[in-house]
Structure 1
Amino acid sequence: MSRSAFCRMSSFPATSRTIFRASTSLISCAILCAVLTAGTVASAAPALADAATPGPAVSGPAVSAVTQATARLGDARIHYASQGQGADAVVFIHGWACDASFWDAQMAALGANRRVIAVDLLGFGESDAPQAEYTQELLAQSLAAVLDAAQVRRAVLVGHSMGLSVAKSYIDAHPGRVAGLFIVDGVYMDLPKYEARAQGMRAVLAKPENDTDAGWRQFVAGFVQPMFSPATPQELRAKTLSAMQNSPRHAARSSMLHYLAPGSWSPAPAELPVQAVYSVGMAKNMAVAESLPQVFPRAHIEQWDDCGHFIMFDQPQRLSRAVADFAARTLP
């Protein structure tokens, strides 16, 4: 769906954050986790120390206030948080069924030195969740609406999990506006190589029992919990699970189905600076070292120990430093 076509649709009702749930078995969840789950880690002590250390990871002047703002995509409101000044920005893109608040530590760490923005993609967080087909293109259009409203000239995009494919869709449409891409445990499936896995995951999501409330919470819990590492603080586990369980079900289900649809993964190489950090489990499971350079020829890939899928929680200071260093090189 083009952005102009989306804008011609009838008015979208603002969707409240009602809890949606549907049922599935733990076996079905295991099918999904086999593709997307980062493995367990042997030792969590260094990451726990990182998470517990107070203060921002990047030193600098006093942090400016965070501004809450909205952009428009057709009749839908797209929420975002903005901090700092300047026409160029580091822009954080959350993963499936997550929201902008997942980047709070990185926003605080980098906001003292440059402009930073965290986006609630259409359908998630405080953004509207209209009844629509949540394609990667549509989610990228909501990102574009934010960058236009915020008057961002050029950006370093930081994409976590599904946020990687949203970022790639935006890069394909607006290559001149992206100075670099920082990938955080991003899932970019090598289709048709993984088509059998994707088909199994689509079958799980299409189960009729996913239409019940209690079961959806069970499904999301079974899907998300294996992604944590022993390093993930308990309060952040609870926050993550609650946010993902409470995301509008229609948006979560539709975005995942489209995420896994044949043809939704753009194979066109993106010739821009790319730095990627992966948990060891995800890097191995998705054969990142072999598949990622096919799409991002200039990618520099690192594997980090002592973290799970939510690296921003497990190693917040290390990740903030890495993003700040990358932004300094690509968006001086």
Structure 2
Amino acid sequence: MAETRKGGARIHYDDLGQGEPALLFIPGWCTSRAVFRKLVPPCSALHRALVVDLPGHGASDAPGQDFDNTTVVEHLRAVIDASGARRVVPVALSHAGWWALELRRQLGPRVPALVLLDWLVLEPPPPFLQALHVLQTSQWKQARDGLFSLWLQGVSSPDVIRFVQEDMGSFGEDMWKRAGREISRVYAQQGSPLKALATLSPPAPTLHLYAQPHDDAWLESQRSFASSHPWFHVQRLASHSHFPTLEMPEEIAARLHRFIDTSLGTRPEGLSPSPP
């Protein structure tokens, strides 16, 4: 495990494999880098992989009594600088996509592409926004448990169940309230992730791999966006949970490698068609 510091706080990350661009694996709020433990080995076989614990998460120190999205981006940049990587492709889980977007804004061509995993890239459903609101109140635990129930509905994978209950369940009131506040804030500021992606100039080749919701209308809306924004690619995965990194890492790694090779011009062929 490697380590750097930002503002006196230690930031831990794994540095595996070799080659440019490096893949920067970014967990979401209230998750540790363990969510990538199955995905990193097949990815680091072909690319350098930097796997971060966010500030106040996993093995990384909290940077103070409170912090926000800006602090997280500063810590991610500290990892990039400490690693010496010239170019990085963020591989961002869920709402970590907001930080990946901001890295592209700040670093430009040093972030040549984006990989987004299981993110609510369309307008967030009202029940989800309500859950974010309740997370910021004294009823935070009920809201968190409601999200856990939703994420585990119909899921039989022991790895996913254990991760949600034990890893995500290990975070307490302060972090869950912070997550609700910061996710709500960025949606209010930037609108949907697709709208935010469309403001990048120049746009970044972007791949969204997701499993939930398993709704044809959700997929068609993203395909419609892709038809007018050819730098955006979406592929739905046959995973049963919100955490396909734990259910089908080999398939994600293969799709990720193919996307990077294609988007960076090292292969002439295009992406294979999205699965139904």
TM-score normalised per structure 1? 0.68
Contact 2:135 2:144 in 1 (8 A): no
1:175 aligns with 2:105: no
Residue number among 237, 242, 245 corresponding to 1:312 in the alignment: 245
Q: CA RMSD in A?
A: 2.9
Contact 2:39 2:245 in 1 (8 A): yes
Residue aligning to 2:182: 258
- Return the offset for 1:232: 4.8
Residue aligning to 2:206: 274
- Return the offset for 1:189: 5.2
1:141 aligns with 2:74: yes
Residue aligning to 2:2: 69
Q: Which runs of 5+ in 1 are unaligned?
A: 1-67, 211-215
Q: Which runs of 5+ in 2 are unaligned?
A: 267-276
1:161 aligns with 2:94: yes
Contact 1:279 1:308 in 2 (8 A): yes
Residue aligning to 1:201: 131
User: Which amino acid in 2 is paired with 1:206?
Assistant: Q
- Return the offset for 1:282: 5.8
- The structure-2 alpha-carbon separation of the partners of 1:239 and 1:274, relative to structure 1 and needing over 3 Å to count, comes to same
Where in structure 2 are the equivalents of 1:285-304 lying within 5 Å?
Answer: 289=222, 298-304=231-237
- Return the offset for 1:197: 5.0
Secondary structure of the corresponding residue to residue 113 of structure 2: strand
- The structure-2 alpha-carbon separation of the partners of 1:90 and 1:202, relative to structure 1 and needing over 3 Å to count, comes to closer
Where in structure 2 are the equivalents of 1:1-332 lying within 5 Å?
Answer: 68-188=1-121, 190=123, 194=124, 197=127, 200-210=130-140, 216=141, 219-228=143-152, 230=154, 232-261=156-185, 262-263=188-189, 267=196, 269-270=199-200, 271-281=203-213, 284=217, 289=222, 298-330=231-263
Higher relative contact order (CA 8 A, sep 6+): 1
Task: State percent identity of aligned pairs.
Answer: 23
CA distance in 2, matches of 1:264, 1:75: 31
- Give the number of the structure whose alpha-carbon radius of gyration is greater: 1
Contact 2:131 2:143 in 1 (8 A): no
- The structure-2 alpha-carbon separation of the partners of 1:235 and 1:274, relative to structure 1 and needing over 3 Å to count, comes to closer
CA distance in 1, matches of 2:126, 2:79: 35
User: Which amino acid in 2 is paired with 1:200?
Assistant: Q
- The structure-2 alpha-carbon separation of the partners of 1:169 and 1:133, relative to structure 1 and needing over 3 Å to count, comes to farther
CA distance in 2, matches of 1:205, 1:252: 6
User: Which amino acid in 2 is paired with 1:275?
Assistant: L
Secondary structure of the corresponding residue to residue 85 of structure 1: coil
Residue aligning to 1:9: none
Q: How many residues align?
A: 256
CA deviation map 1:134-166 (0-9, x unaligned): 432322222111111111110111111111112
- The structure-2 alpha-carbon separation of the partners of 1:327 and 1:195, relative to structure 1 and needing over 3 Å to count, comes to closer
- Return the offset for 1:322: 1.0
